[in-house]
């Protein structure tokens, strides 16, 4: 068995992105592109995975954590110079090294494996993953000899008009004999249009030395897209989105219109759940079976149980149980925990609030920093007055309580078990169990008063 090593190039600034965020940290379907690359590489059983960092080194390391080792390329002098920085770690080892760019998030592990197998089968010193591009602009072009052997890779900026017609491109992914790689890197020069040390030059040098250099041509150009600017980022997003959606549909999820459904790569969805148009599911959200996620709902880092309906609503960093209904037009804000058979109706905002099984909050209500028991009914227009401008306070509403419409519950306050709050009350004191609290001015009817006003 050959020892396998992986090197990921991620030190560049990504000038063409025109962004404060370092290129390889730009997310594609919710995950930074370099992390997609590392996650794919991790399935290959590599002995060592080394990521070359430079611009935004600390941020890239924070993102990838222990998934990789790191080498710093303090100055970005080109892709060959980048790989050279790994010499102290890998230089002396026997084996095959896969080099891949941190800006090609779509290349699948299967393709990397096929490249590796092609390399091993040909006993090559270097094998390039290439693809045929409809529009090869921007990519290095593969120049082949009259015998169809790979001879050289020429970068866009160095290519003659004739060379620019070549449609076979370098995907930036390679397999190298590890020792040959580091020996050859020393010979790479920077006498080119960009004044950079190009990794692809290793190919020409090895070829001229009479070594076996091959190419593995993948049929799927879309997979090899290199993300250099925001337009390519949107193309990568579209390709990955289609992949993710297809996977969910094959697993038994109905997606009414995959073209406008946005599901993060880390999200999980159970069978027979229906995702209606315009839905965005972000982060490591999980949605159970038989759910309906209604139009334009936005779900972020949340867990939703089986048979729950979320209709045109926003759910963020929260947990929702089974058989619960949310929306339309509800906002479940962070750290909320809704139980089973709960009903949250239209124009209800819930923040950092726990609501137990069977409780109903059907209309126009704000619950913040609250703990609501089971089988509680919260009437229309109820407000937990949780904030005095400086501090937040808690409201406790115990099991089976009934809060009448348009009530203010001024926290800290407890509404006792089974108690009733009369509609229109402003509650400032705790209510004991089973009590009726009325906190509003009494109504007075002035008989015949209207006739005296001379308005008719
Ligand atoms: C590179 C290849 C090109 C190929 C294309 C595929 C070179 C010279 N060109 O071009 O043949 O068609 O990828 O997408 O290799 N990086 C470093 N250190 C550096 C320079 C770059 O780590 O000093 C990293 C970048 O962060 C990036 C990757 O290497 O992740 C590729 O660099 P980039 O500038 O995007 O190269 P391309 O012009 O796309
Ligand atoms: Ca690139």
Summarize pLDDT for 140-161 with one digit per residue, the tens: 999 999 989 999 999 999 999 9
Mean pLDDT, residues 331-358 taken together: 98
Could you tell me the distance, in angstroms and rounded to a whole number, from the CA of residue 142 to the centre of ligand 1?
A: 15
Q: How confident is the model at residue 454 (pLDDT cuts 50, 70, 90)?
A: confident
Q: Are 407 and 421 in contact (CB under 8 A)?
A: yes
Provide CB contacts within 8 A for 415, sequence distance 6+.
Answer: 395, 396, 397, 398, 401, 403, 409, 421, 427, 430, 431, 437
**What mean pLDDT comes out for the span 271-282?**
98
**Mean pLDDT confidence for 391-418:** 98
Task: Label the pairing between strands 420-421 and 150-154.
Answer: unpaired
CATH number for the region 255-437 comes to 2.160.10.10
**Which percentage of the chain shows pLDDT scores above 70?**
100
Q: Which of 70, 172, 198, 236 to mutate to test the pocket of ligand 1 (most atoms within 8 A of CB)?
A: 172
For 444, the token pair is 């007075």
For residues 123 and 212, the answer to whether their CB atoms sit within 8 Å is yes
Q: How large is the average pLDDT for residues 229-248?
A: 98
Residue 418 has pLDDT above 90, yes or no: yes
Atom of ligand 1 at shortest range from CA of 194: 8
Q: How confident is the model at residue 29 (pLDDT cuts 50, 70, 90)?
A: very high
Average pLDDT over all residues of the chain: 97
- What are the phi and psi torsion angles at 343 (to 5°)? -120, 125
- For residue 455, pLDDT over 90 is answered with no
Instruction: Give the model's pLDDT for residue 263.
Output: 98
Whether 456 shows a pLDDT value over 70: the answer reads: no
CATH architecture of 4-224: Alpha-Beta Complex (3.90)
Listed by start position, the domains of the chain span 4-224, 255-437
Q: What is the pLDDT of residue 370?
A: 98
Within 13 Å and on the Cβ side, how many CA atoms surround 316?
10
Does pLDDT of 177 surpass 90? yes
Ligand nearest to C-alpha 169: 1
What's the 375 CA to ligand 1 centre distance in angstroms?
A: 60
Query: For the residues 71-77, what does the mean pLDDT come to?
Result: 97
Residue 452: predicted pLDDT? 87
Give the pLDDT confidence score for residue 278 in this predicted structure.
98
User: What is the percentage of the chain residues whose pLDDT exceeds 90?
Assistant: 98
Residue 17 is classified by DSSP as: G
- Name all residues whose Cβ lies below 6 A of ligand 1: 9-12, 24, 52, 54, 73, 76-79, 81-82, 101-104, 139-140, 153, 155, 169-172, 198-200, 226, 228
Give tens-digit pLDDT for 315-339: 999 999 999 999 999 999 999 999 9
Task: Please enumerate, by residue number, every residue annotated as part of a binding site for acetyl-CoA.
Answer: 386-387, 423, 440
To test the pocket of ligand 1, the residue of 9, 17, 32, 215 to mutate (highest count of ligand atoms within 8 Å of its CB) is: 9
Q: Per residue in 433-449, pLDDT tens?
A: 999 999 999 999 999 99
Residue 15 confidence (pLDDT): 95
Any residues with CB less than 8 A from the CB of 273 and at least 6 apart, and which?
253, 254, 287, 288, 289, 290, 291, 292, 293
Q: Taking residues 49-59, what's their average pLDDT?
A: 97
Mean pLDDT of 25-51: 97
Separation of 225 CA from ligand 1 center, angstroms? 12
pLDDT of residue 411: 98
Protein residue closest via CA to atom 29 of ligand 1: 9
Ligand 1 atom at minimal distance to the Cα of residue 54: 22
Average pLDDT on 288-310 reads 98
CA distances from residue 256 to 165, 234, 246, 273 in whole angstroms, order as listed? 42, 22, 12, 11
Residue nearest to atom 36 of ligand 1 (CA): 79
């Amino acid at each position: 068995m050959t020892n396998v090593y992986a090197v990921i190039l991620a030190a560049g600034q990504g000038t063409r992105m025109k962004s404060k965020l370092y290129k390889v940290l730009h997310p594609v379907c919710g995950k930074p592109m370099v992390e997609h690359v590392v996650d794919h590489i991790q399935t290959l059983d590599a002995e060592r995975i080394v990521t070359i960092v430079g611009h935004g080194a600390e941020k890239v390391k924070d993102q990838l954590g222990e998934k990789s080792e790191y080498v710093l390329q303090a100055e970005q002098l080109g892709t060959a110079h980048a790989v050279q920085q790994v010499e102290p770690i890998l230089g002396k080892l026997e084996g095959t090294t896969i080099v891949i760019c941190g800006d090609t998030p779509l290349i699948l592990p299967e393709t990397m494996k096929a490249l590796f197998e092609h390399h091993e089968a040909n006993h090559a010193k270097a094998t390039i993953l290439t693809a045929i591009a409809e529009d090869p602009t921007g990519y290095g072009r593969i120049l082949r000899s009259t015998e169809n052997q790979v001879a050289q890779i020429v970068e866009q900026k160095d290519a003659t008009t004739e060379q620019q017609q070549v449609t076979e491109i370098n995907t930036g992914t390679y397999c190298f004999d590890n020792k040959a790689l580091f020996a050859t890197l020393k010979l790479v020069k920077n006498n080119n249009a960009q004044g950079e040390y190009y990794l692809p030059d290793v190919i020409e040098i090895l070829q001229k030395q009479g070594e076996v250099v091959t190419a593995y041509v993948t049929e799927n150009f879309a997979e090899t897209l290199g993300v250099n600017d925001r337009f390519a980022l949107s193309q990568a997003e579209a390709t990955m989105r289609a992949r993710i959606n297809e996977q969910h549909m094959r697993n038994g999820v109905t997606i009414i219109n995959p073209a406008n459904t946005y599901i993060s790569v880390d999200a999980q969805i159970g069978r027979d759940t229906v995702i209606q148009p315009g839905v965005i599911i972000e982060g490591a959200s999980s949605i159970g079976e038989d759910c309906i996620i209604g139009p334009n709902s936005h779900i972020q880092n949340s867990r939703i149980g089986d048979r729950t309906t979320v209709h045109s609503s926003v759910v963020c960093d929260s947990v929702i149980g089974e058989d619960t209904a949310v929306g339309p037009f509800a906002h479940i804000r962070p750290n909320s925990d809704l139980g089973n058979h709960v009903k949250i109706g239209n124009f209800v905002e819930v923040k950092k609030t726990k609501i137990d099984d069977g409780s109903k909050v059907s209309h126009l209500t704000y619950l913040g920093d609250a703990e609501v028991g089971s089988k509680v009914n919260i009437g229309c227009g109820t407000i937990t007055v949780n904030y005095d401008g400086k501090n937040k306070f808690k409201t406790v509403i115990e099991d089976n309580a009934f809060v009448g419409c348009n009530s203010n519950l001024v926290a800290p306050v407890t509404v006792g078990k089974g108690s009733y709050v009369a509609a229109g009350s402003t509650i400032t004191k705790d209510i004991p169990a089973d009590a009726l609290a009325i906190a509003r001015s009494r109504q007075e009817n002035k008989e015949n008063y209207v006739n005296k006003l001379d308005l008719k």
